[in-house]
Amino acid sequence: MRFPPRGLYAITQTDGKSPATVIAEIEAAIRGGAVVVQYRDKHPHDALTLARELVKVCHRHRVPLLINDNIELTLEAGADGVHLGKNDGHIREARERLGTDAIIGISCYDSLERALEAQAHGATYAAFGRFFPSGTKPLASPAHPDTLRQAKQALSIPIVAIGGILPENGAALLAAGADLLAVIGGIFDHDPELSAHAYQRLFDSQ
Ligand X SMILES: Cc1ncc(COP(=O)(O)OP(=O)(O)O)c(N)n1
**Which of 28, 65, 83, 179 contacts ligand X by CB under 6 A?**
83
Using omega within 30 degrees of 0 as the cis cutoff, is the peptide bond preceding 130 cis? yes
Q: Find the part of the chain contacting ligand TZP (CB under 6 A) among 52-60, 74-82, 130-138, 196-204.
A: 130-138
CB of 49 to ligand X, least distance (A): 21
Is 92 labeled as catalytic in the residue annotation? no
Q: Which of 85, 76, 51 is nearest to 66 (CA)?
A: 51
**Which of 163, 170, 177, 192 contacts ligand TZP by CB under 6 A?**
163
With respect to ligand TZP, which residue has the nearer C-beta, 74 or 195?
A: 195
Cα–Cα dist 195/167, whole Å = 8
Query: Which residue type is seen at 89?
Result: G
| Residues 6+ away with beta carbon under 8 Å from 7 | 33, 34, 35, 36, 180, 200, 203
Cα–Cα dist 154/65, whole Å = 27
Q: Does 95 bind ligand X (CB under 6 A)?
A: no
Q: Which residues form the interface with ligand X (CB under 6 A)?
A: 9, 38, 40, 68-69, 83, 85, 88, 105, 107, 127, 137, 160, 162, 182
By annotation, the residues acting in catalysis are: 40, 107, 137
